[in-house]
Amino acid sequence: MIMGPLNATDPDWKYRGRPREKGFFYEIVSNDRNKVDVDKWDYFARDCHHLGIKNSFDHKRFMKFLKVLPDGKDMQICQRDKEYMNLHELFHVRCLLHRRAYQHRICSAIDEMICDAMVLANDQPLIFGKDGKKLKISETINDMFAFEKLTDNIFYQILHSEDRSAPMEAARKILNRILCRDFYKQVGNFKPNANQTRSQVEAEIAELVQDKDLEKDDIAVNERIFDYGMKKENPLDHFRFYSKDKPDTPDRIPAEKISDMLPRIFQDRELQVFCKDSAKRQKAKEYFEIWRGKNGI
């Protein structure tokens, strides 16, 4: 009910457990068809409450108009047509939370810092595996006994480790910076074209660096992708609605029939450029501006 289709041996019905006529059960917790599921309702309510952000999706009203109707071979969870805009708010709130919280520039900076610390600490075995042997962080994916222990506590395992090797000292320094809120500093952000990748931009800016006070490794680039949960697709194109006049006939509703103000593009990309050393932020910003000028951005 969470993983989606698991039964690859049956080409006609790929779910295990329930038969096809009960397939709508697999659209409740994690909906692979159109991403409308209670998992989102749950974390929207929690995160909007704690962040002080208004949740404009009304899940209680949404529940009142739900129906399970046949759509071709499948039984599908459907909604009344007049609730189209309420359902649109579900994905609008999701995108808003990603912009204002989950992919906020500070969260992106911390993500980069934790990744750097993990890479530095990876040479030292930290976690016991099934056979009693200590494994590196990257090796735990091959040992479920060890992988179960790879929790958020790894942060403190590295931080309080007695290993005094240079990589571990560097990893601890990064984690201490997080605790002291000395984050990597953003020097700029921009909307890339289709051909510009994170690694490419990072390499191009690093090539420009010719200042002894700034090292190439001081530059980091992060990619932020915002969408409605289905990459470039509109999830509502995969949802079915019924009307008052045809309560047992599910149908797709094109967005243009609802409003000309609804979005037509459902994915947005942004690249963020960070300087890892706070003292070198201005120098990094200068090189980023040089790169922008060369690329006409």
- Asked if residue 8 is part of any domain, the answer here is no
Q: Express each pLDDT in 182-197 by its tens digit.
A: 999 999 999 999 999 9
- Asked if residue 50 is part of any domain, the answer here is yes
pLDDT of residue 14: 85
- Asked if residue 244 is part of any domain, the answer here is yes
- Cα→Cα distances 110→125, 174, 179, 180, 276, Å: 23, 10, 10, 12, 11
> Can you give the residue range of the structural domain that contains 255?
20-104+228-265
pLDDT of residue 8: 63
Q: Are 65 and 236 in contact (CB under 8 A)?
A: no
Q: CA 284, CA 131: separation in Å to the nearest integer?
A: 47
With a cut of 50, which residues of the chain have pLDDT below it? none
Q: CA 24, CA 38: separation in Å to the nearest integer?
A: 13
| Single pTM value for the model | 0.89
- Asked if residue 280 is part of any domain, the answer here is no
- Asked if residue 111 is part of any domain, the answer here is no
Q: CA 292, CA 279: separation in Å to the nearest integer?
A: 22
pLDDT of residue 266: 97
- Asked if residue 248 is part of any domain, the answer here is yes
- Asked if residue 124 is part of any domain, the answer here is no
Q: CA 271, CA 197: separation in Å to the nearest integer?
A: 9
- Asked if residue 212 is part of any domain, the answer here is no
CATH number of residue 98's parent domain: 1.10.3210.10
Domain count, the chain: 1
